[in-house]
Structure 1
């Protein structure tokens, strides 16, 4: 890990970008190299799961399942993803299982025997219904569209955190992050690498654009006005309800990022601070202390906010830390200049 540091008023301030680098190991002088190996794939029939005797699924059940899944796909294409569906033939019973959050009227239409084959009519009467509901496998470090704020994002070996959703005058949505994270034009992915998160534009950084700000926008994908809460692999989130200026003396601000998760109990000590790091001097910035952690490497770009029962009140995003003090880029310092408005949930 490399971190950029510069001394500021006797304290070390660290720009919270994590950079990962892998150096291939190699033999040193006088050391023998390991001889090359030739690997031969094992016979898959010897795999431990091959010892199970699989019960054949009746062809009638397979045909009925195919029809049901076709109906479900048509319904979702027409009506959207309000309800979840999972369907399969249980190999132990030979019966179709349908797990859905859809109401009884929708289920009845999907299982209707009108115009259906005899196989479907026979199988539909024995469908095992469940109402557990299903969801995408995702978390703060493995987000999926539409993307939330305060999740892990990566590009070129660097890891940061997403911020909150904004839009321009044309209504085009973007996700914010810290300007010191990625270069303009960079393709950013989720931390786990499963999805493209967006392309960097509108970068503002003293050493790049001359602005005393630390912000950039990610665009080109689907973004939702929510921010992750909870721990570093949490799936919990809250809606964004507004954005505005921080208040000095407030004692329960939160920051949320991929490294430290959500931490609250921060006290804003200034809204007119300046922080100078290897990427230049940024001002004004929000200065805060308190909480179990003020932030760490990789949290850069993560949302900084106050929260109540209604959701998150955005005040900016985390950009630097040092000596038990955190620094956040204020929302109010760049939003109007860049023609941006906050997107609420």
Structure 2
């Protein structure tokens, strides 16, 4: 079919030009009313004002602002006392609702600077402090991802020490049952050129006696556990340890798969849990909240205090996925009795 040709006259073109010319705002002066630069200045100022008025408003919570000021003051005092060996950039990010601390300082320095404001801070490492649950660095914390090379990851639990003050990281024997086997963090940070950090060696494991407990040693470990989400850089200090109580619904776990999850209640302190690695009893059975999942085995099971610190109650060993929907944890007393160890508190 032939498309008819339409001839556009000059008059018609003029009408089209008028039709597509945007109408001038009633608030915009005619150019002959404000000649030259005076007109341009007022116009641009009004455009900028309208742009500012329509921009999204990001508000930072007062507690985040207070945390930023506190951390900035501590950083300044540290630099004044120690010089410029490390670099720091401290700001608030309204899109995250957090203080962002970018630094190349080691973890012990960062922990001291962040202090009680840890829950409001995202630490972004540059170099040796590039740490999170998935690529922890020494001194190692509980709640991080661990693995044998080529194996499915599990989680670290919490730190204990023997009578000689030798420290160990508690985790599960069903993941780490080969004595003297090396254990590594789950992932390598970008600066490490794909070489994950060595967490230590499996020095003890208790599957033969029905204990889903392994102790990793040979490196440095400290009494803190990761908090927050699955890629968190924040942590909580361990204050003490004791067994959980039945019918208390404020317990938490913190693992590499589900992060920190609370609202668990212990329904039985004398449960039996039999899996491919054998039977364990007596263990704690818990329900409620978001339960542990694959990869969380070994994660600390704990209660929280008002100041953010925690009481270790045990470590996660498994769950059932049937109608019952429950998780299971080795109790702290079983670790203490089996190996003659005590909890290591954290700063």
Asked if TM exceeds 0.5, the reply is yes
In terms of Rg, which structure is larger?
2
Deviation at 1:101, TM superposition (A): 6.2
Q: Any unmatched runs of 5+ in structure 1?
A: 1-98, 112-128
Per the alignment, residue 10 of structure 2 pairs with none
Q: Distance in 1 between matches of 2:215 and 2:160?
A: 9
Q: Does 1:304 align with 2:301?
A: yes
Aligned partner of 1:68 in structure 2 is none
Give the RMSD, CA atoms, in angstroms. Answer: 2.1
The yes-or-no answer on 1:252 pairing with 2:265 is no
1:158 aligns with 2:152: yes
Whole-Å Cα distance in 1 between the matches of residues 265 and 296 of structure 2? 18
Alignment partners' CA distance in 1, 2:77 and 2:174:
43
1:278 has 2:276 as partner: yes
State the 1:148 CA deviation.
0.5
Q: Which residue of structure 1 lines up, in the alignment, with residue 58 of structure 2?
A: none
1:338 has 2:339 as partner: yes
Shift of 1:204: 0.4
Structure 1 residues 241-265: Cα deviation after superposition (integer angstroms, max 9, x where no partner): 1111110010010011000001100
Structure 1 221/103 Cα, relative in aligned 2: closer, same or farther at 3 Å? same
The equivalent of 1:201 in structure 2 is 203
Q: Tell me the CA shift for residue 149 of structure 1.
A: 0.2
Do the aligned residues in 2 keep the contact of 1:187 with 1:198 (CA within 8 Å)? yes
For 1:188, which of 167, 183, 201 is the aligned residue? 183
Matches within 5 A, 1:201-280: 201-205=203-207, 209=208, 211-280=209-278
Per-residue CA deviations over 1:27-83 (Å, capped at 9, x if unaligned) read xxxxxxxxxxxxxxxxxxxxxxxxxxxxxxxxxxxxxxxxxxxxxxxxxxxxxxxxx
* Matches of 2:179 and 2:223, distance apart in 1: 23
Higher relative contact order (Cα pairs below 8 Å, separated by 6+ residues): 1
Q: Of the candidates 109, 128, 139, which is equivalent to residue 132 of structure 2?
A: 139
Unaligned runs of 5+ in 2: 1-74, 91-101, 104-124, 189-195
Q: Distance in 2 between matches of 1:249 and 1:277?
A: 25
Q: 1:272 to 1:236 in 2, by over 3 A?
A: same
Matched, 1:313 2:314: no
Does structure 2 retain, via aligned residues, the 8 Å contact 1:100–1:130? no
- The total of aligned residue pairs comes to 224
1:102 aligns with 2:78: yes
Structure 1 residues 131 and 255: CA distance shift in structure 2, 3 A:
closer
Offset of 1:102 from its aligned partner?
2.8
Q: Give the direction of change, closer, same or farther, for the CA distance of 1:106–1:190 in structure 2 (3 Å limit).
A: closer
In the aligned structure 2, how far is the partner of 1:130 from the partner of 1:254? Answer: 33
Equivalents in 1 of 2:273, 2:264: separation in Å? 18
Q: 1:169 to 1:251 in 2, by over 3 A?
A: same
Q: For 1:172 and 1:106, how far apart are their aligned partners in 2?
A: 31
Q: Is the 8 A contact 1:101 1:131 kept in 2?
A: no
